[in-house]
Amino acid sequence: MSNSDLISNNHKWISIVIPVFNNSNSLPFLFKKLQDLDVQLQTLELQIELIFVDDGSVDNSLTILHDFQEKTPHVRLIKLVRNYGAVNASRTGLKYVSGEVFCILAADLQDPPEITFEMCKEWKNGHRFVICERISRRDPIISRIFSRTHYFFFRKLVFPNYPRGGFDIALMDKSMLGSIISSVKSGSAPLLAFSLGYPPKILKYARPARIYGKSSWTFSKKFNFFLDLMFGYSNKPLRMISGLGVLVSITSFMFAAVVLFNALFNNISVPGFAALAVLTSFLVGLILLMLGIIGEYIWRIYEQVNNRPASMIEYVVEPKVY
């Protein structure tokens, strides 16, 4: 069955992509919320197409998804070969979107699915890009500190108009889908959509505490994602190290001029071994830092030209249409 077969009447459709990784505890509650959301969206003359992407779960999430898919219309199930991460799993699911509008939801319910109804109302009012900014989050203190730092630098180095609280939930018009899928940049689909330049309609919400399961979004994954965004969307790190190199060169020249003047005209001996050792160590460290930043850019170029698939699909279970 092709994607276009799902659109068999004049109703508008919303495609919801949901990456799943070891979410067996939250899935039954997620299904209930999605069914309630379906009833709400019918008041807006919208119908739901659900696209679940199992991202290599090792619990019984896949079995639960199969059961739900068997009993529920308009549900597509994609099984990936292994765990590729939520971002890659989501982008895989986007290739199967057939609705006029689409979004990505987390399976752990930390971002409430019911907010999708409010986003759809804004889409019906003519906004092609709707995002939900977090105004507060009940996460562990380390996570909150990292998030504030991340968004601070992201606003400074990449997008000055990026929401201060960040966002993960976004509703996107299908006119944006082709650009998101074909993009070679790293990052989530909402971030890619934000980078396209569409003016977003911003809704605000308070992110609740996590109830089901333990997050697999570890600090190392967050840090790697942070580096991907910094080096994938901005050339300012390169400009900063270039400016630092110029500043160090000017300072070194001025220092050398002072030393030479004192040695020639004031007969002041300049032993300078300690100063020379410190300066040499500093410059070597600076050079290594610059090479590391340049290497990060080169690695990302290599990843793009290497053209390796971001994920591999084991099988797809097509939806039942009643």
Confirm whether 322 is domain-assigned.
no
How many CB atoms within 10 Å of residue 164?
A: 11
139 and 207 in contact (C-beta within 8 Å)?
Answer: yes
Looking at the chain, how many residues does it have?
Answer: 322
Cα(12)–Cα(100) distance, integer angstroms: 6
The answer on 130 and 241 residing in a single domain is no
The answer on 286 and 160 residing in a single domain is no
204 and 122 in contact (C-beta within 8 Å)?
Answer: no
Q: Angle at the Cα of 87 (from 156 to 305), degrees rounded to 5?
A: 85
Q: Indicate which CATH number applies to the domain containing 198.
A: 3.90.550.10
Torsion, Cα 261 266 267 270, to 10 degrees, reads -50
Report pLDDT for 82. Answer: 93
Q: What is the pLDDT along the chain (322 residues), one digit of tens a residue?
A: 344 444 445 678 999 999 999 999 999 999 999 999 999 999 999 999 999 999 999 999 999 999 999 999 999 999 999 998 888 999 999 999 999 999 999 998 888 899 999 999 999 999 999 999 888 766 677 777 877 887 888 888 888 888 887 888 899 999 999 989 888 777 788 888 888 888 899 998 887 766 666 666 667 777 777 777 778 778 888 888 888 888 877 887 787 787 777 777 776 666 666 677 777 777 887 888 888 888 888 887 877 777 778 889 999 999 876 4
pTM for the structure as a whole: 0.80
The answer on 221 and 243 residing in a single domain is no
Its sign, for the CA torsion 8, 9, 12, 18, is negative
Which residues form the domain of 270?
Answer: 236-306
Q: What is the distance, to the nearest Å, from the Cα of residue 71 to the centroid of all Cα atoms in its chain?
A: 32
The answer on 81 and 46 residing in a single domain is yes
Q: What angle, 0 to 180 degrees and rounded to 10, lies between the N-to-C axes of helices 236-265 and 273-306?
A: 160
The answer on 189 and 241 residing in a single domain is no
The answer on 118 and 27 residing in a single domain is yes
The residue among 97, 102, 142, 138 whose CA lies nearest residue 120 is 102
The answer on 145 and 244 residing in a single domain is no
The answer on 252 and 222 residing in a single domain is no
The count of structural domains within the chain is 2
Cα(86)–Cα(54) distance, integer angstroms: 10
The answer on 254 and 201 residing in a single domain is no
